[in-house]
Structure formats: structure tokens, C-alpha cells
Amino acid sequence: MDLQTAVVLVLVVVLMLSPSLSSAGDIVHHDDIAPKRPGCDNNFVLVKVPTWVNGIEDSEYVGVGARFGPTLESKEKRASHTRVVLADPPDCCKQQKNLSGEVMLVHRGNCSFTAKANIAEAANASAILIINYHTELFKMVCEKNESDVDIGIPAVMLPQDAGTNLENELMNNSTVSVQLYSPLRPLVDIAEVFLWLMAVGTILCASYWSAWSAREAALEHDKLLKDDPDAFLHMEGVGSTGYVDINTTAAVLFVVIASCFLVMLYKLMSFWFVEILVVLFCIGGVEGLQTCLVALLSCFRRFKHAGESFVKVPIFGALSYLTLAVSPFCIVLAVVWAVFRHISYAWIGQDILGIALILTVLQIVRIPNLKVGTVLLSCAFLYDIFWVFVSKWWFRESVMIVVARGDKSREDGIPMLLKIPRMFDPWGGYSIIGFGDIILPGLVVAFSLRYDWLANKRLRDGYFVWAMTAYGLGLLITYVALNLMDGHGQPALLYIVPFTLGTFLTLGKKRGDFKILWTRGEPERLCPHVQLQPSQEKDQ
């Protein structure tokens, strides 16, 4: 299998694993199934519960606030350290002994949540921590017929493991104290700015690389046609161009195949399955990084000869000496990332391999005209919306977001993502963007620059600046929507596709180039050896 075929196969995997833009777990959880009513109208918010045992700082847990009761402080410095006591009886369904402002730890069950909170408040508790009987969190609501919901203390649900730890400390006569607060996520995190720059910069570099390669191929084509037209005609259709053009059939099949693969990931998501994805990602990352480094180093005179000298290698075929020289570095980087991918700085290696893979894919895979680009992005637009929003009706959760986060796999998401840790977010987590949200619109943006260069259009008169700007704005609007939804995952293509594709189609129609863009995808050159002289490159 040659390099091109391997990269194309990796592309298929990448496109099928195109999750939407997402971030850390939601702070505010909206729930239409549990309707609000007076006295029971709080949003479900995550709550930080740092603990101290015998005056020494211990573990920090995360709980969820109830529909009823007062809201919690958002600032850690305003939340007081309060001692925890165990309810007696533990379910807090009967009258408790009088307290002096402690936090009461109780078990779930045997009576309603509001009944427990009312009993704890009557005992002068300052708050109530309810231990769930599962490791997951549960949303505490008011029963339909309950009238006594005017509760003056906050109630927080803890997962079973956290509550059991606290209970064991109390049973061992340890002094346990906690803080209860729910910090707000910042309106904009610097991680989102860097992720935006990474996505836009990757498409920018890939577009110029693709356009430069296309122009070099066009100049070579014209040179051969000028020097020996008869010999050139015999060469037509012989050999490989090194590029893969997508057609409309492939664009439509993408939705079907990607949907099937996404469902398979959702159903089979496990540790071993993610390990397979890690291996595939490493193979693609090595191929991509190797291709990018060889192309970059070949621009320098010192490495040019090594890049043009080849040796035959079993299985892999003819490889340049430069490729053989950079391959060990690429393999070592991928292996090191795979082994240490759980450490805090592993995202750097993942982003390096991911960007290199995206650049290589956008260099090799191309759309021949705007028609194919429109079909591809339109299908991807519907695909993204369906699997982020509509899939909740069938699966009770967003299939794409679950796959992107790597739920049920004990892994921090699948590797086919660019990610940056949220730097000023008290809840931590990552801002992420799927490869498909860069590759799919990137194919159209790269096509616009290839057309501009082949048509000898100046930068301000062409389509690339408009397409690039439209993509940047679409991605920016995605982040705005992401923050307005308090970090809830958003389908990036919902915003990117209308901006990018709408701008390109409208501008092409207005300038009278729509027919050529839609069908041919490149300008007519009656005398190409005259129109594409190197001297005209200075005008670009």
C-alpha cells in the first residue's frame, strides 16, 4: 500500500468520526421532563464539594443542586467551611436531633427529597447532602402533589462513591467539613481563541499548499503540451496524479456510511474499541506528519537532493531518503503520545499529529467543482444536526456528543479531535473541535484558492478571502452559541456551512462565474502555455 492510499483510507475513518464541537460537561442542566413551578424552579447546576478531614484538605467531589431550595454561592471565597454530620436515622425521613448549622449527610430513599430537606431545615441544618444509590448523579425534583416546597436550605445530590467516603470518615469519628459552591464558567475562555486560530490557520496553510501544488501541476501540464503535444496526448490517463477527487455519489454515501459507523461506535464504545481508534489515529498521524515534514524540508536546498533520491523498500515501495530520515521521528512521536496520552500535556502531541493529518488530507483529497462541494457540505450539515439534536429522540442522548466524549470507554474522548484545556474554567475540561468540522469546509476553501490561482485572480478579486472569512465567522458564531448554551455541545457545521457555502454561491452568482464554478471547477484556458507563465505569478 502506497502513502497516498494509506492517507485516503485514514481520511475515510476521519470523516466517519466527525464529532461536533463540544466542551467540558455542562454546568447547567436543563430538563423539560421535570417542569418548573413556584418554589421548585431552580436549574440543575453542578456543585463543587471540597472536603476537609480533621482539618486537612481531602478530596473534592462534584454534586448536582436540586430543583428546590436557595441557589448556592458562585465564589469559593464566599462559601464557608461547614461541619458535616450523619443523619439519624440515615434516610432523614423522621425528626432529627437539633443541630447548630451543620451540613446533614443523608441517604436517598423512603421519602421524597423535599421531605428530607424540610426535616433537615427543621433541625437547623445549613444544607443537606443526599447520597445517591448509584455512581451517577440524579436530578432532585418536587413531587406533583407536594405543597411544602418553600425550603430555605440548599440540597445537593452526591454520587454513591463520594457519599460513602464521607460516611466512612464520619463513622470513624473523624471531623469532616465541606464547602458548597457552584462557580460560573467564564463567558469566553482563552482556549477557544487558540482553538479558533488552530482551525483557521490549518485551513489557511492547507489551502495554500493545495493551490501551490495545483498551479505547479498546471505549469508542468502546459510545459509538456507546449514542448511536445503529440507525446503529451499519449501520456493522458497514464499514471496517477497523486490526488483523489470526490464525486457527488461519494459525497452522498458519506452520510450513510458515516451514520452507520457512528452508531457502531455508540453501541460498541468500550476501552478496547477506543484502543483501535488510537492505533488508526497514530497510523494516520505518522503518515500525515511524515508527508508534511518531507514537503517542508524539501523547500530547503540542503534537503532537496535527499527528497529527490529514492530507494526501494519492501512492502512500502519506492521511498525518498528524506522520508526514511524523518519516519523514525514521526513514529516515536506517535508511540509516545499513545503511551502517555492520559497525562495533562498529551493534548499537544494529539494536536500536532491531528493538524499534520488534516493538512495531508486537504492536500490529497479535492473537490473538482462547486457542485460536489455543495452536495458534500449539505449532506454533512444534515448529518451533524441529526446526530447532535435529533438522535436524542431515539437514543435519549446525543449520539455524536457521547461518542466525542468517549463515554463508557474510560477514555477522555476519541482521538480524532483537536483539543485545548480550558485555562480559566473552574470546572476544567477541554474545548474540542472534530476533524470533520475542519476538513469538510476546508475542501471548499482550498478549492476556492485553487480556482483563484488558476484564473490569475488577485487576492482581493478572488473567492478565497471571502470563503476563508466566512469559515472564520461561522466558527466564531459556533463558539458564541456554545457559550450561550453553557458549554452544551453544538454541531459546528450548523453554523459553518451556511456561512461558507452561502458566501461562495452568492458571490459566484453575482460575478457571473457560477456556471464554471459549478461544473468545470477551473477556468477555461484556450492557450494555457501563454496564460500561466511564471512571470505572472508575481501578480498573485
- Catalytic residue positions? 384, 437
Using CA atoms, how far residue 137 sits from 63, 87, 110, 159, in Å, is 7, 20, 18, 5
Pick the closest to residue 166 from 96, 103, 77 (CA basis): 103
Contacts of 297 (CB under 8 A, 6+ apart): 303, 307, 322, 326
> In b/e form, how buried is each residue of 5-27, taking b as 16+ CB within 10 angstroms?
ebbeebbebbbbbbbbbbbbebb
Pick the closest to residue 20 from 479, 518, 521, 538 (CA basis): 479
Q: For residue 158, which amino acid is it?
A: L
User: If you ran DSSP here, which 8-state letter would residue 224 be given?
Assistant: H
Using CA atoms, how far residue 516 sits from 114, 234, 402, 508, 525, in Å, is 68, 27, 42, 9, 12
Cell of 537: 505569478
d(CA 199, CA 506): 24
d(CA 60, CA 178): 9
**What φ, ψ does residue 300 adopt, rounded to 5°?**
-95, 140
> In b/e form, how buried is each residue of 338-371, taking b as 16+ CB within 10 angstroms?
beebeeeebbebbbbbbbbbbbbbbbbbbbbbbb
Q: For residue 389, which amino acid is it?
A: F
